[in-house]
């Protein structure tokens, strides 16, 4: 077992019962302290831990780490050190904050109350790819826009379909966005019009962050893939449905997707998610040999989406689960690199919208409101077909079994009116 995952370990840092961040999580992130210092850190309960300060105090002695590895504005250099190092650092952090070891308790420069720190983007995203790996989502979209009898395209059951997205507009939780403007073709019109998007939508996704891969020309197999995945975040892939509908043929989405994608602040490592492995859906027809895999490669991660209109309470509009994904992360990475495409530390790969089998588990308003034909009633009595100005969309995710909960916190984004 991975030492840091010991389910019996307790921390001397207080952790509330339903916290996503017990001592068994130990995610990685980047934050700014009240003094304006930017540092790499982790979190236990509601306490943010400055790893640069811990390193300076000598707590990582015995692990080969550059002196300034945690004094960075992104986790990319740390991720480049590779899985044995991430694992050793996580194990060491678990040991330092174990309830049997209170030596550091009085070193105030290491610990910060969560509300006092400002979370930043955890990685500098070099390249961003978005997959389309939920069979339920692809079927729903195919049913609405093409042919219910042939909802899946002929390639879908053979290829983890994806496209290259835009890294520059990936933003951390808490950063508001403006409603995008663009070109659309109104129904029954003969000429396109320009203006604010009318059908603004979220996509409930997760994303994984990669390590440095192999040289250009080499591929990563499904068996090797997890050694090249640092961890996961929640991912809201904002989508302008009306812009998308007009622009997406023949090369796929462009401006409908690249105005913003929001991620949760803490990267939860694959090591922390290890106890929540589960089998994925049966893949029939049989996949090509390079996409075959062994063992459980899905994870049981509860996901939910809430919409919070301004000045009122939020309403949950979807409860889904990462385990529904047809194509797993190992297959996505194996497919991405099978042609020799290389990857770097800090690259981000979106799962694609994660819809479950029932309407209450759909991962976008497009599906939940079925193209606007089934509005959702909010707790304040207003209706939503898509996202309105001043709404905040909040996604949450957590794993739970045997009384232990490992979570991602949330990704929360407010939509401001078009500029």
Instruction: Give CA–CA dist 331/133, Å, rounded.
Output: 10
Residues 6+ apart with CB under 8 A from 18: 405
98 bridge partner residues? 11
CB of 165 to Ca ion, least distance (A): 8
CB of 353 to Ca ion, least distance (A): 5
Nearer Cβ to Ca ion (96/333): 333
CB of 332 to Ca ion, least distance (A): 13
Nearer Cβ to Ca ion (237/304): 237
CB of 198 to Ca ion, least distance (A): 19
The strand pair at 128-131 and 348-350 is best described as parallel
Instruction: Give CA–CA dist 88/42, Å, rounded.
Output: 14
How is residue 276 written in tokens?
Answer: 């929540």
Instruction: Give CA–CA dist 351/234, Å, rounded.
Output: 10
Give the residue among 79, 111, 162, 96 at the shortest CA–CA distance from 352: 162
How is residue 108 written in tokens?
Answer: 């105030």
How deeply is 162 buried, as exposed, middle or buried, from its count of CB atoms within 10 A (0-12, 13-18, 19+)?
buried
CB of 237 to Ca ion, least distance (A): 4
* Annotated catalytic residue 55: no
Q: Is 244 left (phi over 0), alpha (psi -120 to 50) or beta?
A: alpha
Q: Which residues in this chain contact Ca ion in the complex, by CB under 5 A? A: 130, 203, 237
| Contact by Cβ (8 Å): 40, 129 | no
SS3 state at 387: coil
| Contact by Cβ (8 Å): 268, 276 | no
| Contact by Cβ (8 Å): 166, 128 | yes
Nearer Cβ to Ca ion (237/271): 237
Catalytic residue among 55, 106, 112, 137, which? 137
Instruction: Give CA–CA dist 40/16, Å, rounded.
Output: 23
Nearer Cβ to Ca ion (20/203): 203
Which residue do the tokens 């304006």 mark?
36
Nearer Cβ to Ca ion (87/166): 166
Nearer Cβ to Ca ion (203/226): 203
CB of 203 to Ca ion, least distance (A): 4
Nearer Cβ to Ca ion (371/382): 371
CA angle (198, 202, 207) in 5-degree steps: 150
DSSP 223: T
CB of 205 to Ca ion, least distance (A): 6
DSSP 367: H
Virtual CA dihedral for 398, 296, 211, 27, nearest 10 degrees? 20
Could you list the active site residues?
137
């Amino acid at each position: 077992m991975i030492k840091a995952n010991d389910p019996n370990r307790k921390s001397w840092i207080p952790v509330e019962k339903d916290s996503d961040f017990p001592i068994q999580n130990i995610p990685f992130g980047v934050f700014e302290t009240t003094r304006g210092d930017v540092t790499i850190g982790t979190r236990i309960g509601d306490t943010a831990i400055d790893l640069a300060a811990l390193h300076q105090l000598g707590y990582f002695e015995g692990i080969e780490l550059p002196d300034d590895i945690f004094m960075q504005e992104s986790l990319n250099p740390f991720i480049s050190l590779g899985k044995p190092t991430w694992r050793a650092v996580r194990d060491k952090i678990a040991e330092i904050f174990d309830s049997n070891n209170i030596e550091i308790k009085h070193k105030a420069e290491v610990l910060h109350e969560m509300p006092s720190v400002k979370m930043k983007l955890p990685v500098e995203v070099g390249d961003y790819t978005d997959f389309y790996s939920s069979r339920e989502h692809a079927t729903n979209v195919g049913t609405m826009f093409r042919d219910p009898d042939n909802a899946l395209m002929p390639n879908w059951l053979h290829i983890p379909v994806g496209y290259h997205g835009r890294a520059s507009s990936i933003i951390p939780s808490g950063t508001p966005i403006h409603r995008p403007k663009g070109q659309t073709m109104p129904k029954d019109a003969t000429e396109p019009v320009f203006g604010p998007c009318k059908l603004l939508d979220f996509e409930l996704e997760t994303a994984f962050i990669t390590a440095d891969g192999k040289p250009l020309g080499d591929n990563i197999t499904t068996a090797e893939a997890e050694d090249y995945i640092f961890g996961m975040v929640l991912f809201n892939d904002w989508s302008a449905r009306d812009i998308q509908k007009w622009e997406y043929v023949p090369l796929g989405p462009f401006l409908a997707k690249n105005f913003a994608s929001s991620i949760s602040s803490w990267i939860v490592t694959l090591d922390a998610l290890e106890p929540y492995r589960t089998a994925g859906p049966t893949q029939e027809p049989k996949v090509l040999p390079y996409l075959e895999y062994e063992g459980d490669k899905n994870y049981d991660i509860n996901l939910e989406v809430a919409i919070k209109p301004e000045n009122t309470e939020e309403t949950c509009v979807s409860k889904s689960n990462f385990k529904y994904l047809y194509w797993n992360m190992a297959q996505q990475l194996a497919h991405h690199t099978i042609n020799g495409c290389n990857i770097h530390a800090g690259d981000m790969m979106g799962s694609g919208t994660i819809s479950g089998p029932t309407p209450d588990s759909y991962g976008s308003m497009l599906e939940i409101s079925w193209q606007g034909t089934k509005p959702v009633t909010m707790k304040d009595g207003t209706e939503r077909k898509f996202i309105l100005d001043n709404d905040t969309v909040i996604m949450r995710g957590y794993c739970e079994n045997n009384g232990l909960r490992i979570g991602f916190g949330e990704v929360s984004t407010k939509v401001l009116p078009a500029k």
